[in-house]
């Protein structure tokens, strides 16, 4: 059931996470405005959502009517000034200054009761909100990739976030058929703080020549993981994963356990960003991008 105080949603950033969150919100009944600085990315995002929903229909997981209704709720928006909504979700590149600029502009556009959230994986919510006048209506809402599949959503309370904002977000997450967990405002929050060590040690094993990445993935899958760390980095985006690690390394004052990997840096420099680029640690056919 939709949250009474939320009639519409804006999603800023039409990349992998943005389109996944748009799909989740649309299926839950919310009209969604999807914005990106590059209009062609928004068009591709909606096409990708359509493809995933059509596959769900083919598999008998979704009716054709529900597919059509969900797609009709997602509207590509080319003018940022149109993003006047009840809740706006920032899902852009993991760069602090970019995120701060967006939330500051969203605050100017929207009414005082509009809730603004960031899907950041690593930056403290209080730090992003420092540019806002009304910091009480800002919080973290961290979905996991792929958003349509992963049930967990972290809600992060900033230093100024008020109780009303948290209550609305808890109800909103529930309306999306997701499970929320509250996290204290700290770099990486809960899941990504733990995950950094999962990725870091896997990368170090390969860097030190102990094993190759295929073997590491295979062994971890055989122990019960659905996906190995290198497969997961390719899915998330090697560049995104590296950016999160770098952000946390800096936020924790260069704590050695969060040190970024040279191997991962090489992949980023080479443009080998994973599934979305066609090659990461593995290679992917064009149709899988």
Annotated active-site residue 8? The verdict is no
Give the 3-state secondary structure percentages of the chain, helix then strand then coil, rounded to 5: 50, 15, 35
Q: Which residue has the tokens 């996906």?
A: 227
DSSP 192-217: HHHHHHHHHHHHHHHHTTSS-HHHHH
- Which residue among 118, 121, 180, 202 is the active-site one? 121
Query: Which of 103, 101, 117, 106 has the alpha carbon at shortest distance from 81?
Result: 106
Q: Is 130 exposed, middle or buried (0-12, 13-18, 19+ CB in 10 A)?
A: middle
> Which position among 90, 154, 202, 241 bears the catalytic label?
154
142 is an active site residue: yes
Angle at 265 between CA 89 and CA 244, to 5 degrees: 25
Catalytic member of 119, 142, 202, 273 = 142
* Active-site hit among 180, 192, 202, 261: 192
Catalytic annotation present for 121: yes
Asked if residues 119 and 143 have their Cβ atoms less than 8 Å apart, the reply is yes
Q: Which helix (H) or strand (E) element contains residue 133?
A: none
Taking the C-alpha atoms of residue 72 and residue 23, their distance in angstroms, rounded to an integer, is 11
Which pairs from 48-56 meet CB under 8 Å and 24+ separation?
A: 48/19, 49/19, 49/22, 49/23, 49/74, 52/23, 52/148, 53/23
154 part of the active site:
yes
Which sequence positions are flagged as catalytic? 121, 142, 154, 192
């Amino acid at each position: 059931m939709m949250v009474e105080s939320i009639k519409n949603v804006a999603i800023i950033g039409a990349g992998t996470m943005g389109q996944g969150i748009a799909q989740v919100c649309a299926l839950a009944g919310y009209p969604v405005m999807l914005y990106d600085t590059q209009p062609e990315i928004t068009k591709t995002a909606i096409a990708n959502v359509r493809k995933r929903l059509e596959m769900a229909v083919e598999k008998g997981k979704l009716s054709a009517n529900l597919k059509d209704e969900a797609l009709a709720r997602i509207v590509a928006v080319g003018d940022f000034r149109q993003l006047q909504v009840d809740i706006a979700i920032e899902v852009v590149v993991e760069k602090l200054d970019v995120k701060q600029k967006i939330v500051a502009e969203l605050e100017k556009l929207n009414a005082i009761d509009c809730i603004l959230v960031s899907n950041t994986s690593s930056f403290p919510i209080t730090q992003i909100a420092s540019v806002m006048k009304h910091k009480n209506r800002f919080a973290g809402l961290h979905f996991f990739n792929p958003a349509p599949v992963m049930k967990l959503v972290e809600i992060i309370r900033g230093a100024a976030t008020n109780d009303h904002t948290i209550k609305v977000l808890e109800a909103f997450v529930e309306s999306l058929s997701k499970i929320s967990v509250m996290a204290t405002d700290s770099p990486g929050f809960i899941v990504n703080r733990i995950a950094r060590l999962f990725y870091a040690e896997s990368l170090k094993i390969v860097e030190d020549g102990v094993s190759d990445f295929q073997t590491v993935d295979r062994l971890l899958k055989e122990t019960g993981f659905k996906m190995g760390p290198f497969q997961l980095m390719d899915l998330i985006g090697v560049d995104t994963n590296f950016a999160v690690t770098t952000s946390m390394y800096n936020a924790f004052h260069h704590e050695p356990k969060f040190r970024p990997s040279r191997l991962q840096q090489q992949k980023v420099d080479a443009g080998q960003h994973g599934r979305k680029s066609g090659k990461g640690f593995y290679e992917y056919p064009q149709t899988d991008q």
